[in-house]
Amino acid sequence: MLDAVLQGMLMGLILSTFCGPIFFMLINLGLTSSIKSVFYLAFGAFLSDLLIILILLYIALGSIAESQYLNVFYYIGGGILVYFGIRNLLSQPSTLEQNELSQKDLNKVFLRGFMINSLNPNIFFFWFGTMMIAFNTYHNNKDFVLTHFISGLSVSFCTDFLKGFSAFHLKKYVKPGFLKVLNKFSGIIIIGFGLKLMFFH
């Protein structure tokens, strides 16, 4: 069981090193908003990962992976990324003072994290691959597999939160002009992820 925990934690650390769209959003929120908003975004991505894992565990894998359904996810996910990337490009960065969001805005941040993570086929493939490895490693022992993924998800959530948390505490060292550059840069990167999903998958 301890091996399942350690292997799951390693998997979570590997996932946390991916510099996908959620990474740039976490850094942006950390620099321009509150720690609470960082938590909501990270928690949205966490619940999305949990949902994907449950789907892979309890629904026939073959029907989900059919190309006709997968292409729909590519285009929907890519379109959403392009939308949020354009919003970043056009938006004016906040001041470096803490910008508290209303509960309604926090719910939108949560939903954004959930949707972007859920509609990214790369996340699906990551969990699909790691699940096949886990079932093989633990000889189809469901308790060990669940322990493995619970450990991995916990580490992934904590490291995602720490990214935004670190950015929040570094904001006093950041010059105002840097935020404008960061907004443009992260917007272009997120649009790039979206276009790649839509046309170069």
Tracing tokens 């505490």 back to the chain, one arrives at: 169
What gap in Å lies between CA 199 and CA 51, rounded to an integer?
26
Tokens of 49: 């990962």
**Which residue in 107, 135, 131 sits closest to 41, CA to CA?**
107
Encode the chain (201 residues) as per-residue pLDDT tens digits.
777 777 778 766 666 666 667 777 888 788 877 888 889 999 999 999 898 888 877 664 444 445 555 577 667 767 877 887 787 677 665 544 455 667 888 898 899 889 888 877 777 777 776 776 677 677 767 778 778 888 888 888 888 888 888 888 776 666 656 666 766 776 787 788 778 767 876
Instruction: Say if pTM beats, i.e. exceeds, 0.75.
Output: no
